[in-house]
Structure 1
Amino acid sequence: MPGEHHYALTTTWTGDRGTGTSGYRDYDRAVTIRVDGKPELLASADTPFRGDGTRWNPEDLLLASLSECHLLSYLHACVGRGVIVTSYVDDAVGTMRQEGNGGRFESVTLRPRVTVSDASMIDAAVAAHDDAHEWCFIASSVSFPVRHEAVVEAG
């Protein structure tokens, strides 16, 4: 089926052990990744490609990989910058264009909503997204733009 295909998922960091990212070993790397209406991490092809639309597909998983890679790189960058993250939720979206029997992703936009423990950390927390983008192996491996539209607030 020709045209654009859009994907969206939510990646939630669930690894706060009570002190956020106060130290590199002080937080768990646990993440929950969900696509509305689909079970977690069961895979198939996407429906337009004759797959099971109730299961995760490669396009969802690519988007999830980009989202989680940025999240994990970001948490590491925050530790280095002295930023204590207490919450991180990303509502990532991607656009794929199918042409004939092939196609490609055209872009992905990560939309992380981050809470830090103190307002004085907001500028450093925003800057840490640039570090994360540079450090993310997955984003460095794809041939389409991966953008981030981050919102950071103190909680």
Structure 2
Amino acid sequence: MSKHLHSYQVALTWTGNRGEGTTSYKAYGREYDVTGNTGKVMKGSADPQFLGDPARWNPEEMLLASLSACHQLWYLHLCADAGITVVRYEDAPRGVINELIGSFTDVMLMPKVVISAESDMELAIGLHHLAHEKCYIANSLNFQVKIVPDDVMREAKKT
């Protein structure tokens, strides 16, 4: 395999058989486990609107989390390369699915970033655009993702 190709694999196991399988829509649980290659397990289910367990991650949340994490990791990388010191990064991504068309119709990342007092504010804001262009997850989607990085703040100067 080329050094530029990276392969990923997980295992998904349905754990929602309540003893009668899928004999009816309400007879089975939506629970499943996703196991990574190092044995780590994530507990998943359907959205509660579709009879899922609200204590578990649903696929829609996982997609938003993956998109947000990919953007964050690229952003931090680009900031490090550009000499911008990020001291805090948070995001609260939002997405809307239109059930009639079976697709996300609106997704927005809203990163809140704090940079060091010495860092270039304009460049820090601009790097969100480049991070979005480089994000593998965003590049794999068939819907537009809006980035609203209007909350970049400077850390107070240390005296």
Paired position in structure 2 for 1:153: 153
RMSD over equivalenced CA pairs, Å: 1.3
Paired position in structure 1 for 2:94: 93
> Does 2:64 align with 1:63?
yes
Could you tell me how far 1:119 is from its partner in structure 2? 5.3
Which letter maps to 1:149? V
Which structure would you say has the larger Rg?
Answer: 2
| Equivalent pair of 1:119/1:153 in contact (CA under 8 Å) | no
| Equivalent pair of 1:85/1:115 in contact (CA under 8 Å) | yes
**Which runs of structure 1 show a deviation greater than 3 angstroms over 4 or more consecutive aligned residues?**
none
Which letter maps to 1:62? L
Counterpart Cα distance in 1 of 2:153 and 2:55: 35
Structure 2: tracts of 5 or more residues without a match: 1-41
Counterpart Cα distance in 2 of 1:112 and 1:119: 20
Could you tell me how far 1:81 is from its partner in structure 2? 1.4
Counterpart of 1:91 in 2: which secondary structure? coil
- Answer 1 or 2: which has greater strand percent: 1
> Highest relative contact order (Cα 8 Å, sep 6+), 1 or 2?
1
Number of positions where the alignment pairs a residue of Structure 1 with one of Structure 2: 113
TM-score (norm 2): 0.67
Counterpart Cα distance in 1 of 2:104 and 2:57: 17
Could you tell me how far 1:146 is from its partner in structure 2? 0.7
Paired position in structure 2 for 1:135: 134
Structure 1: tracts of 5 or more residues without a match: 1-40
Paired position in structure 2 for 1:117: 116
| Equivalent pair of 2:67/2:138 in contact (CA under 8 Å) | yes
| Equivalent pair of 1:44/1:51 in contact (CA under 8 Å) | yes
